Structure 1
Amino acid sequence: MFENLTDKLSKSIQRLRGEASLTENNIKEIVREIRVALLEADVALPVVKTFIEQVKERALGTEVLTSLKPGQVMVKVVQEELVSVLGEETVDINFNAQPPVVILMAGLQGAGKTTTTGKLAKYLSERRQKKVMVVSADVYRPAAIEQLETVAEQVGATFFHSSVIDDPVTIGMTAVDAAKRGYFDVLIVDTAGRLAVDESMMKEIRSLQDNLNPTETLFVVDAMTGQDAANTAKAFSETLDLTGVVLTKVDGDARGGAALSVKTITGKPIKFQGVGEKMEALEPFHPDRIASSILGMGDILSLVEEVERKIDKKKAEKLAKKVSRGNKFTLEDFQDQLLQMQNMGGMASMLDKMPGMSNLPDMVKDQVNDKATGSMLAVINSMTIKEKRYPQLIKGSRKRRIANGSGTTIQDVSKVLKQFNQMQKMMRKFKGKGMMKMMQKLGGKLPGGGLPF
């Protein structure tokens, strides 16, 4: 998300290089470019107007530190104003209520409510250690109830069976009673959506809110709908007592207009963002980190958290000990490294969180192709255990067999072996205390050099 905006903001602010101070003249063109960049990102006009006024006022104000260069001042001001627009701080689910905490999911059809219900159930059970039940109050969309049952099974949440012949409010009330009897911490209620905002839908969901008295009413909105997302959010916030917003499909939105508009329009915090199709692809929304990312400053905190959560520490420590003792780094080890990288969303996803990546030439960015990781894994998967441990055996007919088995070419197999040899040479440098020294430099955040980059 925000790729286009990041590029344009970075280029605008770079114009201040060589300037001695900020003046009305030298920021006039930059402010104009920022305004155009925000509008092209599909940010709502009232939000753009207020944002630009604040940036201009603060950039020319007396609060600026004299020790900072003009470009640094502008980055500081824009970053802080972006944080303000996005919501100042991360806002969690409110668990300060008598269990079960009822979470009502609202939004238009196609916004991703059912999938988000499953993602949220997984997030709360795995990362917050909550006992979660889900129920569908959508009695209109064909197979909606069955879809949620399938999703619940995927994420390991308890599914409360409902029926299309029942009234949505009755379904909700019955589910609350069942959640109480089962001592559940959280009940997530998936509601019906429509293709557009209409009176009957709003009346029904308002009735659900009045009767269930949920602790949280989350508005689920597709980030790719841009300014329409903000308009829909406004309509829902006028009918319901919303407590927060969940942005879905942010990984497919290069503009970011919805994220920069919806908090201001609704007055409610963005609590979560859907960052992919997988059920674990739901993350808390951190305004400060998002703002830094927009300005090309990366999101190291999120990267570190992701590494700590997804890296198999036992495997990494085992590899560290193995290499430090001088034992060979094998294709099996290489395979594990590739799988761990893939589990983190691939190299491209990781680079997005690194500072300064927005300034890389497009030619360099294009070379980071995560499809190549899948191809490399296919090649290694087509090898025998003996070949993985003794890659020097892989010649002639063996290469041909591996290429046929993996759907690749002999040249692809040779390329994987070449990359493995380079990795093996690098690992030899960590013999003895070298690996431990590297781990200490990384502060233990990437145990055992868990990723090959």
Structure 2
Amino acid sequence: MFESLTQRLSGTIERLRGRGRLTEENIREATREVRIALLEADVALPVVSALIEKIKVRAVGQEVLKSLTPGQALIKVVRDELTAVMGSTASELNLNVPAPAVILMAGLQGAGKTTTTGKLAKLLKEKRKKKVMVVSADVYRPAAIEQLKTLAEQVGVLFFPSDAGQNPVDIVRAAIADARKSFVDVLLVDTAGRLAIDEAMMAEIKALHAAVNPVETLFVVDAMTGQDAANTAKAFGEALPLTGVVLTKTDGDARGGAALSVRYITGKPIKFTGTGEKVDGLDVFHPERVAGRILDMGDVLSLVEQVEQQVDKDKAQKLAEKVASGKKFNLNDMRDQLEQMENMGGIGGLMDKLPGLGQIPENLKAQVSQSREVPRMIAIINSMTKKERRNPGLLNGSRRARIARGAGVQPADVNRLMKQYLQMEKMMSKMAGGGMKGMLRSMRGMMGGMGMKGGLPFR
């Protein structure tokens, strides 16, 4: 998300960054470029106008023009106002109610409600340590009930059965009664969607809301619909007392107009963003971190959280202890690190959180994101014998040719892997006892050369 906006803004920001002095003319030119960039990103016009006006008012005041580093001060103003328009801080779910806390999922058909219900169930179970039950009140699409049952089994939460012949209100009331008996903390209710907003749909979901009185009513909307997402959310918000929005398919949205428009137009916070079909593809929405990513400052906090959640801590600790004790880093260790990277979505899954990406051409970023380099490297290591993996020094020319044939690659690919191994081995020997920070540095080392000469521009 935000690739096109980041690329457009990063040039403007870079020009201002080193300015020793700013004039009103400089600021007018910069805000004009910011305005064009926002409109191209499909941000709603009222949002763009309000945002630019706030930036102008603050930019021509003492805060910027009298600052010792006016370029940096203006960047801070832009970041602060972008953060404010998206809601300033992350908005938590309100679960501080007598159990079960009922969360109603609403939205149009195709927005990803059922998948998001499964993702949210996993997040609440694992991060909030809640006992979760899910129920489908979508009696118009029998496949939705089966899909939710499959997702519940996949993420390990309770599923309350329903069928197409039942009344949605009866289904949910029965689910609440069962949740109480089962001492469930949170009940997630997946509702029926339509292809468009219509009176029958609104009447049904209003009746359902009135009957079950949920503590949270989340509107699930496709981010790729841009400012239309904000307009649809507004229409739902007029019919239902929404408490928040979930933006789905954000990995397919290069513009980011929805994220920058929804809060301003609806007055409701974006609580989560969803990516892909995997059940772990749901993230808490942090406006201040997103603003940093838009301005090409990266999102290191989210990257660290991702590493801490998805890296095998036991393996990381064992590796740190091994390196600290002076034992040599080998190809088994390298394979473990590569597999950890794949678990986090590969290079593409990490790239958008790194600072400085806006200055890299789009075609090169796409090439790196789609690269199969990591799986290829894992395949090469798997083609080695256990002895070779433990003792990389054994890999002479004939052994490398055999490994290449086994992995279906060229000997040059094996040579390139060995070059990267030697770089990592050297780095590991320097960072004994580096712990989780060391893990990040080693991943940075692996990313260098994978489709980019000189690696990524870390700052």
TM-score, normalisation: structure 2: 0.90
Following the alignment from structure 1 to structure 2, what is the Cα–Cα distance between the partners of residues 424 and 367? 27
CA gap of 1:149–1:252, structure 2 versus 1, over 3 A, is: same
Mean Cα displacement is larger for which, 417-426 or 87-96? 417-426
Taking the aligned partners of 2:43 and 2:255, their CA distance within structure 1 comes to: 9
Distance in 2 between residues matched to 1:69 and 1:396, nearest whole Å: 57
Matched, 1:435 2:432: yes
Counterpart of 1:55, as a letter, is: I
Q: Which residue of 2 aligns with 1:46?
A: 46
- For 1:296, what is the secondary structure of its paired residue? coil
The residue aligned with 1:389 is 390
Deviation at 1:201, TM superposition (A): 1.0
Shift of 1:393: 4.5
Contact kept? 2:17, 2:72, Cα under 8 Å: no
Structure 2: which amino acid aligns with 1:111? Answer: A
Q: Kindly report which structure 2 residues correspond to 1:156-305, keeping only aligned pairs within 5 A, or say none.
A: 156-305=156-305
Partner residue in 2 for 1:416: 417
Q: Secondary structure at the match of 2:283?
A: strand
How far apart are 1:364 and its partner, in Å?
6.4
**C-alpha contact 2:83 2:291 (8 A) present in aligned 1:** yes
Q: How far did 1:251 drift? A: 1.5
Give the drift of 1:256.
0.3
Distance in 2 (alpha carbons) for counterparts of 1:227 and 1:33: 20
Provide the rounded CA distance (Å) in 1 between the counterparts of 2:236 and 2:387. 61
Distance 1:109 1:400, change over 3 A: farther
Q: Is the CA contact (8 Å cut-off) linking 1:308 and 1:446 kept in structure 2? A: no
Q: Distance in 2 between matches of 1:447 and 1:371?
A: 21
For each residue in 1:361-417, what CA deviation from the matched residue of structure 2 results, as whole angstroms up to 9, or x when unmatched? Answer: 558646745420111112223333233223445556655554454343343233323
Identity %: 60
Read off the aligned partner of 1:72 and give its amino acid letter: Q
Equivalent residue, structure 1, for 2:356:
356
Deviation above 6 Å: which 4+ runs of structure 1?
none
SS of alignment partner, residue 188 of structure 1: strand
Any idea what SS the aligned residue of 2:220 has? strand
Give the paired residue count.
444
| Contact kept? 1:104, 1:216, Cα under 8 Å | yes
CA–CA separation in structure 2 for the residues paired with 1:210 and 1:159: 23
3-state SS of paired residue (1:102): strand
Q: Partners in 2 of 1:85 and 1:345 — Cα distance?
A: 29
| Distance of 2:179 and 2:412 partners within structure 1 | 58
Between the aligned partners of 1:367 and 1:226, the Cα distance in structure 2 is 25
Q: Distance in 1 between matches of 2:440 and 2:218?
A: 40
Return the alpha-carbon distance in structure 2 between the equivalents of residues 18 and 189 of structure 1.
52
Report the TM-score, using the length of structure 1 for normalisation.
Answer: 0.92
CA shift for structure 1 position 328: 2.4
Question: Unaligned regions of 5+ residues in structure 1, if any?
Answer: none
Whole-angstrom distance in 1 between the partners of 2:127 and 2:65: 40
User: 1:422 and 1:367 mapped to 2: Cα distance?
Assistant: 23
Moved more, 181-190 or 365-374: 365-374
**Structure 2 counterpart SS, 1:53:** helix
Deviation at 1:238, TM superposition (A): 0.9
Counterpart in the other structure of 2:457: none
The question of whether the paired residues in 1 share the 8 Å contact of 2:7 and 2:358 is answered with: yes
3-state SS of 1:319 partner: helix
Task: Check whether the contact 1:330–1:388 (CA below 8 A) recurs between aligned residues.
Answer: yes
Distance 1:385 1:59, change over 3 A: same
Q: String of CA shifts for 1:122-167, please: whole Å, max 9, x gaps.
A: 0000011000000111111241111111111111111111111101
Q: 1:401 to 1:166 in 2, by over 3 A?
A: farther
Partner of residue 144, structure 2 = 144
Question: Which segment is superposed worse, 208-217 or 1-10?
Answer: 1-10
Cα distance in 1 for partners of 2:356, 2:397 equals 44
Give the Cα separation in 2 of the matches to 1:68 and 1:114: 52
**CA distance in 2 between partners of 1:57 and 1:277 (Å):** 43
Change (3 A) 1:175 1:446: farther
Deviation at 1:260, TM superposition (A): 0.3
Letter in 1 for 2:180: K
Counterpart amino acid of residue 263 in structure 2: K
Instruction: Report the CA distance shift for 1:447/1:264 in structure 2 as closer, same or farther (over 3 A).
Output: same
Residues of 2 paired with 1:222 and 1:172: CA distance?
A: 25
Instruction: Measure how far apart 1:24 and its partner are.
Output: 3.2
- For the 8 Å contact 1:316–1:449, the answer to whether it is kept is no
Match in the other structure for 1:312: 312
Contact 2:227 2:257 in 1 (8 A): yes
Give the 3-state SS of the residue equivalent to 1:75 in structure 2: helix
Question: What corresponds to 2:456 in structure 1?
Answer: none
Once residues 258 and 156 of structure 2 are traced to their aligned partners in structure 1, the CA distance between those partners, rounded to angstroms, is: 31
Structure 2: state its 5+ residue gaps: 446-459
CA RMSD of the aligned region, Å?
2.2
Quote the offset at 1:293 in angstroms.
Answer: 1.2
Q: Between 362-371 and 101-110, report the one with greater CA deviation.
A: 362-371
1:451 is aligned to 443
Contact in 1 for aligned 2:115/2:151 (Cα 8 Å): yes
Post-superposition shift, 1:344? 2.1
Amino acid at match of 1:25: E
Cα pair 1:119 1:279 within 8 Å, conserved: yes
